[in-house]
């Protein structure tokens, strides 16, 4: 459930950021809503079908090394996903490709950050007798 909530929050944050960055100066509310919603749905599907399954393996593999290492591996996994996406979409320019890889890497890091924050919130919300 934490991974699913992290996917929702990450998709919302990134879609909001992309909508604000890529929006024209004069646009109506409908433009912002449509752009945000399309971006959210695309990012949410990417997170649910790719990031969540990969995160299960990452957590099983690096949980014993600590949170910083785990977030670094999520960053690398996002960059790897960006490379795969770039290879599938061959018509890109190299500079745009590097930007895409960095954006995917940041998306992986944001996903890991939300996972850690939600885990912390769950731990803090439990009574002391349950821990």
The position carrying tokens 């690398």 is 76
Per-residue pLDDT reduced to its tens digit, 91-120 = 666 667 788 888 889 999 999 999 999 989
Any idea where the domains of the chain sit in the sequence? 2-122
For 109, the token pair is 């890091």
| Per-residue DSSP letter, 127 | -
Which residue in 110, 114, 101 sits closest to 1, CA to CA? 114
CA distance 35 to 33: 6
Neighbours of 62 (CB within 10 A): 16
CA distance 75 to 16: 20
**CA 71-77-10 angle, 5° bins:** 65
pLDDT at 90: 64
CA distance 73 to 81: 12
Rg (CA), the chain: 17
pLDDT at 49: 92
CA distance 109 to 47: 12
What spatial distance separates the first Cα and last Cα of the chain, rounded to whole Å? 19
Tens of pLDDT, residue by residue, the chain (131 residues): 889 999 999 999 988 888 877 776 666 666 777 888 998 999 899 899 988 998 898 888 887 888 889 889 999 999 998 888 888 776 666 667 788 888 889 999 999 999 999 989 998 887 766 55
Would you say 55 and 3 are in contact if contact means Cβ atoms under 8 Å apart?
A: yes
């Amino acid at each position: 459930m934490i991974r699913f909530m992290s996917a929702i929050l990450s998709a919302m944050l990134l879609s909001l950021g992309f909508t604000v960055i890529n929006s024209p100066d004069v646009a109506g509310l409908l433009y912002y809503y449509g752009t945000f919603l399309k971006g959210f749905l695309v990012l949410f599907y990417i997170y649910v079908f790719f990031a969540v399954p990969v995160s299960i393996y990452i957590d099983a593999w690096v949980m014993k090394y600590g949170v910083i290492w785990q977030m670094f591996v999520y960053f690398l996994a996002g960059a790897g996903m960006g490379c795969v996406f770039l290879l599938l979409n061959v018509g890109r320019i190299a500079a745009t490709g590097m930007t895409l890889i960095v954006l995917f890497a940041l998306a992986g890091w944001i996903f890991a950050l939300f996972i850690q924050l939600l885990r912390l919130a769950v731990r803090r919300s439990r009574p002391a007798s349950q821990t």
